[in-house]
Amino acid sequence: MKRLFIGLSPSDEEKQQIALWRHHHLSSNFGEKFRSVDKGNFHITLSFIGAIESEQLVNLIDTIERIEKPKCSISLNQLDCWAKPKVLFLTSISTVESIQKLAANVIAAVRSNDIFQEERPYIPHLTLCRKAKTAPIVTEAFKFKLDFQQCHLFESVPTDTGVQYNIIYTWPLS
């Protein structure tokens, strides 16, 4: 069984820009206490699926093929931290209706295939670091505008150097 999630992937150029910003503005805060997420793994999760059977996966792909999947964008302009999972992330100060709608459609499709989805508000975010207890103070304003033309089914694969997120299916956004 594969460990799966559905999400949005920034372009390689956008990932590089975010990684450079993180290095220049946050690296002095890291020390040994934060663990940076590999820039290749930068993404915005729409729905965490977990491990499912092959038949469920085929049905899920088909269901998501048929739902409305609007193009979307986000301006990541806020640094925040969730203390319990110890995640430092970028998010948007304002509500992003297009991503909220896409996430709601994807989550409904996942649920319609009898796959559990947590009942909590959806917050689009891009994880920068793990093992973070608080968000460092960044005094300089920043904004990363990300435009998405497709969403992906990712598989989380453990490797010797950490987890790697591989795209195993792609849907165009319209």
In whole angstroms, what is the distance from residue 14 CA to residue 41 CA? 12
**For residues 48 and 81, is the Cβ–Cβ distance under 8 A?**
no
Tell which residue, 56, 72, 44, has the closest CA to residue 154. 44
Q: How many CA atoms lie within 13 A of 4 on its CB side?
A: 22
**For residues 119 and 166, is the Cβ–Cβ distance under 8 A?**
no
> Model confidence at 137, in pLDDT bands (50, 70, 90)?
confident
User: Can you give the pLDDT at residue 161?
Assistant: 87
In whole angstroms, what is the distance from residue 1 CA to residue 52 CA? 6
**Segment holding 14, helix H or strand E:** helix 12-30
Is the pLDDT reported for residue 134 higher than 90?
Answer: no
User: Can you give the pLDDT at residue 28?
Assistant: 65
What the block records as the tokens of 165 is: 């997120």
pLDDT digits (tens, 9 = 90+) for 71-98: 999 999 999 999 899 999 999 999 889 9
User: Can you give the pLDDT at residue 133?
Assistant: 86
- Over the chain, what is the mean pLDDT? 94
For the whole prediction, is pTM greater than 0.85? yes
**Domain boundary assignment for the chain:** 2-75+97-124+148-172
User: Can you give the pLDDT at residue 95?
Assistant: 87
Q: Domain 2-75+97-124+148-172 carries which CATH code?
A: 3.90.1140.10
Tell which residue, 12, 124, 141, has the closest CA to residue 77. 141
